[in-house]
Chains A and B, each alone.
Chain A
Amino acid sequence: MKYFIKKISHHEMWSFSAICSQACSIRVQSARAGLILLTGLSICFSGCLKEIQPSDAITTEVLTSNLAGLTNAVNGAYSLLKDHVTFNGTEDANNMYLRQYFQMSSFAGDNVVCAQVTEDPLFLGFSYNHAPTQANARYFWYISYKIINDCNTVIEAVGKDSTANPNPAVQQLMGECYFLRAFCNFNLVRFYAKPYTQDSAAPGIILRLSTNEPEQKARATVAEVYKQVVSDALEAASLMNQPRGVIFASKEAAWALLSRVFLYQGDNKDCIDYSTKVINSGRFSLCTADQFKTMFANAQSSPGTLFCIGFTDKDDYGKFGSIASMIYSDGNSGWGEEYASSSLRDLMSEHPEDIRWSYIVPLYDADSNIVLKNGIPTYYDTKFSFQGGSPTLSSPIMFRMAEMYLNRAEAYSKTGDVKDALDDVDAIRNNRGLGNSLYHGILPGGTTALQVVLNERRIEFSFEGFRMFDLFRNNLALVRDYWGYHLPGLVSSSIDLSVKPQGYPNEIIQPNDPRIQYYIPIDEVQANKLCVQNP
């Protein structure tokens, strides 16, 4: 054999092939046997195909078969609030539950002014030119239901176990799922249906309470949705007894949700009860003026945070994907095209000492003049910035202590309990640098307690997505009689900041305007024939 190889090494450049061919020509002697062997071999080593499992995913059955898997699934429900999930084949930086939650709510109120028209669907919040095709409302709907599906999967998997799992860790997880389902359904019904206080029999949203119900399903009424939300939140509160920190739901978060839901329902008594429960829980406290200044940068460690969504460095989505990029820019960190409105600033102007001014950051040029963008003064908002110093990172707060006071204040004001309402408002003002401007139970002339509370809510929760709902559920009109690009056809040279704009449509949106509801996304209406579209 040695000789054999030596011999053919003369064979120029194709020696390797020559070896093979020589070797094969030897095999000819036993070609038939070899042939059978070869064919047999290829059948053998390939006859039984493997079961191939994905490398970064796991089947639902395996996942839900143990506590670690269930915990992953519950964590997943939270992460969907911040992830950019592929939608329509695209992973789009605009598509994030929270980013859209804030643009669909805050931008449709009167605290935020639009300084630039844009093709981005965030603009539709300002213009109220909603369409069933608008990308933000479509993705928000989709992800809400993905979270609900995730929660339902866990609830069903645990429910299957007939021993009614006594493990408190599992109960906590179950409770978080009930909470998140309630939270998502409540946000959905607020965006896509009429306010409860206007018409609770109107079509609400589709209630998905199981993973294996028919795909075709009609919308429940607003009242049915609220009922489900309340029952889920109550279930959640009773199950959650092993708190995992403020970036996860807890008993108090469920109570806070109930406080908000009852307020929206006009159930003042229950609102007062659940607000009080949270206030008296002892686990949280109202931020002091000092604490408030850093509350949003340090949401996870702030004593006033009841529940926030935990973002880490890895979730710093920068210019294209962060919430902050829409309303703040250090020059490069964001688009920074939406500012604090003059109407909000006017309301706050009486109290320059108000600590809440610290979140409104004007941009000045070299001559200390306010920078105008297309004629609109630049007042950034930083409630979604500066976690770990990053201009585009925060852990957005979903529930905080101040809301409990102001929910209760509003409920008191509606029950005629002016004193308690004003005391709760004072509790806030006292911690916002307004210790010298408290009401002390005395309503200023020409106002109502509700007006006082709503104004306080407006300032306290600006940019946090409250305002549009606070107006419409109280049957109040949205008045945007200030310069901004919500006014159709506006050009910057028409802007005269010393007067109010005159004659433009879109300055006032009535609470009965059908456009205060977003359209049900086109994808749902097309695929679900039982789902009726909003007018």
Chain B
Amino acid sequence: MRNKLLAFFLLWSVSTQAQVQSRLLKGLVLSEKDHSGLSQAIIENEDGKVSLTQNNGSFSIEVPNGVTKLLVRSIGYGTKTITVQPGENDITVTLQELNQKLNELVVVGYSDKKKSELTSAVTVIDSKKLNDVTSDDIGSLLQGKVPGLYAVNSSGAPGSAAEIRIRGISSINASQSPIFVVDGIIGGNFDPNDVASVTVLKDAAATAMYGSQANGGVIVITTKRATKEGLTVDAKLTTGVRFPDFGKIKMMNGSQLYNYQKELYRDYIPGDTGNSYKIDLLRFYADRPRYLDSTNFNWLDAMFKPALVQNYHVSLAGKTKKNDYYFGLTYYNEDGTFINTNYKRINIFGSNTTHFGLNSSLTNNININGTIGKSYDYNDVYYAYLNLPWDNPFDSAGKPVYVDQNVPFKWWSRDKINPLQTAENSNHEYKGFDVNYDLDLNLRITPWLRYSSTNRLSAAYNTSSDYYSPVVAGQYHGTGFLDGTGELDYGGVFNNLLKFDFTFGKSQLSGLAGVAYEIDKSQNMGGSGRGLPFNLKVFNVVSSNLALTGSNNEAEIMSYLSQVNYNYEDRYFLTASFREDGSTAFPKSKRYGSFPAVSAAWLVSNEPFLQNSKTINNLKVRASYGITGTQDIGASRYLGLFSLSSQYNALSAATPLQLASPDLTWESKHEQDLGFDLGLFERLSITIDLYHNITKNLLLQVSQPLSVGFETRWENSGQIENKGLELALSSVNIRNRNFSWSTDFNISFNNNKLKSLPASFVRTDSWGNSQIYRNGGNLYEFYLPVWKGVDKQTGAPLWEQITTDSSGNVKGRATTSNYANATLEEVGSAVPTLQGGMTNTFTYKSFSLAVNAYFVSGNKVYSNNLRFAMNDGNEPLYNQIVLPKGYSIWTHPGDNATNPSPENNANSTEPSTRYLFNGSFLQIRNISLSYAAQSLAKALRMEGITFSLSADNVYTFTKFIGQDPQVTITPQNFNMPGVDDFKYPNNHQYLFTIDLKF
């Protein structure tokens, strides 16, 4: 049957050529070095007819009967002329590689390109460089490795993901995160262990192909495929332990707190006469019995414990003539360092490619991913820090003791809560699964034209619930509480493209044109209720306060895309692309946006005068300009809306939800990039990129005076300019038979400015912390009273008060102890201006040692924790931090202190620069030592065994007084960007890995 088919196919193929006296010659083009197949190699017959090889290097071409010659060449490889004898078939041609690095295939946009052909700013990280750190999150793995990519691990909760920004922050209210493209399709799911490479697309030349979703940059994930014939099995087993990283703050122990609290008993009534300023010990002992001095309980130790991490990954890969397959299975299990938290994930990935016909293939990928975990309640972390060391959470039997307002024993802590008892009797569970199925068809139509269809269907169901047993103290005592939500997301992406590729003379012209369509739908349902008998935790048993929630969502994007690439003699490259997107996020007349890009590159090192240079083995100059967009702000933002989700007395109630904005449309980012790639002595490669991006028509929630009844209105307003410089160095410093040392270093500078805003506006969070958005200012610029220390005479807090004349000019600067009179000032941004990373890798015989560091500078971080934990007696029954070096509390008139008198502390903990710190840090991200046990592997008839030990998040050098200077940079509920507020601490992690290859 198959032969018949093939014959039929060949017949068709031949008949279209209408050359009776020719025959079809088949063959393979391989790299001389490793005999791997070369794709896109050009085979030219004597008549000038051209054929290209497919991915495995195979080709077929019509040749005249009789002796004939073929010219075979491939970019980055030498050229060969082959003589073919009559009747000779299945020939193999090997080509010598000119420059290995330049031939790596890079997955960009809707096509693959060789590195040498690139005209855009792109960074590729292969799986080896990616997986030095062990994490379930790709963002953490990329941290510090890609110039221009800023990744923040703002939470240490199990399973949490890093926040990623590429080339600064270019949106305010629209999504700022890059999009992920997995195996050529926007969105999708993958396991980091199954990733072969990550390509970060940074400039519009590369990202504009993703048009409306590419403002934040694009991260292209390519999953692993079989690389050689036969079966390869790889098993990687990792296990280790994590410890919480509490950063620079140290909470007081019982004795420290006891001594500190004496300060609250100073005989000082502000404004009164006859103050002695002495500590009134009699009163102190009356309130704080002496036994407290030796009562010490460490809450953090009780609520945070060392936790186990495990990651097991097995993969099978194999290749036959007709089929490639890859199968990966991952089990990841992370216990949280905070009590009763964890995260487990299982991921199954299968990929199969069937090759058929001439250069045609069909690929099926399926990825199934299931997650189960336990989250935490912010309050429990809060109390772990702030409960007093004078309270013991355990009874004599070692069980967490029940505490409420009316318990007969003395509970010193401010709030009558034992967080251990709550955490033990509550659950914050989440579960979910996610399935992607990809079907890719790659069909040759003529030697120069292909049809490519890449399609994905995806579905995910995620649930989360919170459960409090009736035994917990607090509002759910006696009844218990349950809430839960479930969300179904489903949708598809369908790309249908025609791709062409011509070679004529010294020129090559390739490109594509096609249509893409995306649809996403979601629906969620949830409920809450009380009255849970016998610790049962399902909605069926809820007996009171039952409430339901639920809503649906939908979005569609329709796109038309095209791209043309021109290459002359592998020296001059030109690429132009155009994409047109329509999004349902905007009103009908404003739906479509255009996203063009053009870029060029000159590969100087391929010029005759450099071709044989021993010094410069690669030199390229690149330039690009293009436009990308954003539409990701949620549905229906342009409508004037009333919400129907509230009720009054069990009747439907409509409340004003949103102001209308009938002209709302795309935000677009205009990007320019100039880049240089330089390779020296086959050892050192340098990439420099300069960029200048302006985001126009920002999708902005413009602050309204609250008196209109709305906080904001969606408008297209204002601009953000991002300018930057990126430098990446990769160097092989020493390369001997037994020893090598290589360094990867990158550093990026970014400067952002807001422009063209109609008026400046201020965002203020629920604690009163403000950030200002103003023309000429930076994004996330803190807008706070400037802390001026402590009044020497009265011990009162001081802030700066600026007086201005009617036209706003500064007339004078003074200090005030009246917080309400303090002037709000621009005091620095939460966005860093510099960041980078460095990895040094040493190998000696079978040993390898890698050290990876990451650094950030130029940002400010606000420690909201200190509002509670260094509160000058405003909340005397919260535990306090041990005062850092150089800090002191005011004790008497004339005292030069940093912290106000607890007796004269009005508003001292209100937002000000007092708690704003330099956010710079240098972190030793990872140290890993591995040993490849070759002889053992040989003895066991295995391909390889590697043992490795690694330490992640080893140490952070910083001046920040808080848990960790890595805090969120995303405006979100409860948190403003750059504000640290009792986050789940990050972790130190120590792991042992065995990697077995069969």
Whether A75 pairs with B711 at a CB distance below 8 angstroms is no
Tell me, yes or no, whether A47 is within 8 Å of chain B by CB.
yes
Known: A49-B584, A57-B643, A117-B875. A216 touches B705 (CB 8 A): yes
| CA A88 to CA B973, docked complex, whole Å | 8
Say yes or no: B635 contacts A528, CB within 8 Å: no
- Whether A492 lies near B287 (C-beta < 8 A) is yes
Binary interface encoding of chain A residues 25-47 relative to chain B, with 1 for a CB under 8 A from any of its CBs, else 0: 11011011001001100110111
Q: Given A31-B445, A55-B553, A131-B820, are A149 and B708 also a contact pair (CB < 8 Å)?
A: yes
Contact B704 A527 (CB under 8 A): yes
Stretch from A278-286, A432-440, A515-523 forming part of the interface with B = A515-523
Also in contact, A35 and B498, with CB within 8 A (given A135-B767, A332-B478): yes
Query: Which residues 61-87 of A sit at the B interface, judged by CB distance below 8 A?
Result: 61, 63, 69, 71-73, 75-80, 82-83, 85, 87
A178 to B748, CA, bound (A): 59
- Asked whether, in the complex, the Cβ of A72 is within 8 Å of the Cβ of B652, the reply is yes
Q: Is A445 an interface residue, CB under 8 A from the partner?
A: no
Tell me which residues from 205 to 258 in chain A have a Cβ below 8 Å from any Cβ of chain B.
205-206, 208, 215-217, 247
Against A, the Cβ 8 Å flags (1 = close, 0 = not) of B278-322 are 001001101100000000000000000000000000000000000
Instruction: Verify A57–B475 contact, CB threshold 8 A.
Output: no
A314 lies within 8 A of chain B by Cβ:
yes
Q: Nearest B residue to A80 by beta-carbon distance?
A: B655
| A: number of interface residues (CB 8 Å) | 128
| Centre residue among B441, B639, B709 by max chain A CB count within 10 A | B709
| Residues in A neighbouring B554, C-beta threshold 8 A | 50, 52
**Would you call B8 and A142 a contact (CB within 8 A)?**
no
Q: In the assembly, what is the distance between CA of A17 and CA of B588, in Å?
A: 40
Residue from B286, B652, B708 with most neighbouring chain A CB atoms (10 Å)? B708
Segment of A316-324, A345-353, A407-415 in the binding face: A316-324
Q: Given A149-B710, A319-B474, does the pair A488, B364 have CB atoms closer than 8 Å?
A: no
Q: Does B573 contact A (CB under 8 A)?
A: no
Cross-chain contact B641 with A146 (CB below 8 angstroms): no
Interfacial chain A residues near B547, Cβ < 8 Å: 314
Taking A28-B360, A90-B974, A489-B270 as contacts, is the C-beta distance between A523 and B475 under 8 angstroms? no
- A392 interfacial contact with B, CB 8 Å: yes
Contact assessment for B910 and A88 in the assembled complex, using a CB-CB cutoff below 8 Å: no
Task: Kindly state whether residue B648 has any CB partner on chain A within 8 Å.
Answer: yes
Interface readout for B641-673 with A: 1 if CB under 8 Å, 0 if not?
111111111111111111010000000000000
Cα–Cα distance between A92 and B765 once the two chains are bound (Å)? 11
Contact of A150 among B478, B656, B972 (CB under 8 A): B656
* Measured CA separation A418–B909 after assembly (Å): 50
Q: A119 at the A/B interface (Cβ < 8 Å)?
A: yes
Q: Is A196 an interface residue (CB 8 A)?
A: no
Q: Which residues of chain B from 760 to 782 have any CB-CB distance to chain A below 8 Å in the complex?
A: 761-768, 770
Q: Check: B882 CB closer than 8 A to any chain A CB.
A: no
User: Is there contact, CB below 8 Å, between B496 and A528?
Assistant: no
Chain A residue numbers with a CB within 8 Å of B323 are: 14
357-407 of chain A: CB within 8 A of chain B: 363, 365-366, 392
Q: Which of B283, B405, B514 contacts A494 (CB 8 A)?
A: B283
Q: Mark A460-499, 1 if CB is under 8 A from B, else 0.
A: 0000000000000000000000000000110111100000
Contact status of A39 and B496, CB under 8 A, knowing A29-B8, A117-B874: yes
User: Of the candidates A26, A71, A117, A133, which one forms a contact with B768 in the assembled complex, judged by CB atoms under 8 Å apart?
Assistant: A133
Contacts of A448 in B (CB 8 A): none
Q: Is B66 among interface residues, defined by CB-CB distance under 8 A? A: no
Complex Cα–Cα for A115 and B644 (A)? 40
Specify which chain A residues have a CB less than 8 angstroms from the CB of B710 in the assembled complex: 146, 149
**B642 pairs with A58, CB closer than 8 A:** yes
B453 CB–A CB distance under 8 Å: yes
Cβ proximity bits A268-288 to B, threshold 8 Å, 1 near / 0 not: 000000000000000000000
CB <8 Å contact, B906 and A129: yes
A180 to chain B, nearest CB (A): 12
A4 touches B1 (CB 8 A): yes
Closest to A154 in B: B654
Contact among A118, A133, A526 with B761 in the assembled complex (CB-CB below 8 Å): A526
In the complex, B397 has a CB within 8 A of chain A: no
Q: Which residues of A contact B477 (CB under 8 A)?
A: 331-332
* Of the residues A3, A92, A133, A392, contact of B1 by C-beta under 8 Å: A3
Verify A528–B705 contact, CB threshold 8 A.
yes
Expressed in whole angstroms, the minimum distance between the Cβ of B904 and any Cβ of chain A is: 7
Is B86 close to A, CB under 8 A? no
A103 contacts chain B at the CB level, 8 A cutoff: no
Pick from B264, B658, B706, B766: contact of A521, CB under 8 Å: B706
Q: Beyond A42-B494, A119-B871, A146-B709: 5 further Cβ-contacts under 8 Å?
A: A72-B651, A76-B648, A89-B972, A119-B867, A153-B656
Which residues from chain B sit less than 8 Å from chain A, CB to CB? 1-2, 5, 8-9, 12, 264-265, 268-272, 280, 283-284, 286-287, 323, 325, 352, 354, 356-357, 360-364, 404-408, 414-415, 439, 441, 443, 445, 451, 453, 473-478, 494, 496, 498, 514-515, 517, 519, 544-545, 547, 551-556, 558, 582-584, 588, 591, 635-636, 639-658, 660, 703-711, 759, 761-768, 770, 819-820, 824, 867-868, 871, 873-876, 901-907, 909-911, 971-974
* Top 5 closest pairs, chain A to chain B, by CB: A149-B709, A133-B768, A319-B475, A528-B705, A489-B903
- Identify the A interface with B (CB < 8 A): 3-4, 7, 14, 16-18, 20-22, 24-26, 28-29, 31-32, 35, 38-39, 42-43, 45-47, 49-61, 63, 69, 71-73, 75-80, 82-83, 85, 87-92, 95, 116-119, 127, 129-135, 138, 141-142, 145-150, 153, 205-206, 208, 215-217, 247, 310, 312-314, 316, 318-320, 325, 329-336, 363, 365-366, 392, 488-489, 491-494, 503-505, 519, 521-524, 526-529, 531
Show 25 A/B contacts (Cβ-Cβ < 8 Å), sorted by A: A14-B325, A17-B352, A24-B441, A35-B443, A50-B556, A52-B555, A52-B636, A54-B551, A54-B636, A55-B551, A57-B636, A59-B641, A60-B642, A75-B647, A75-B648, A80-B655, A117-B876, A129-B819, A129-B907, A131-B907, A134-B768, A310-B648, A489-B270, A493-B286, A503-B272
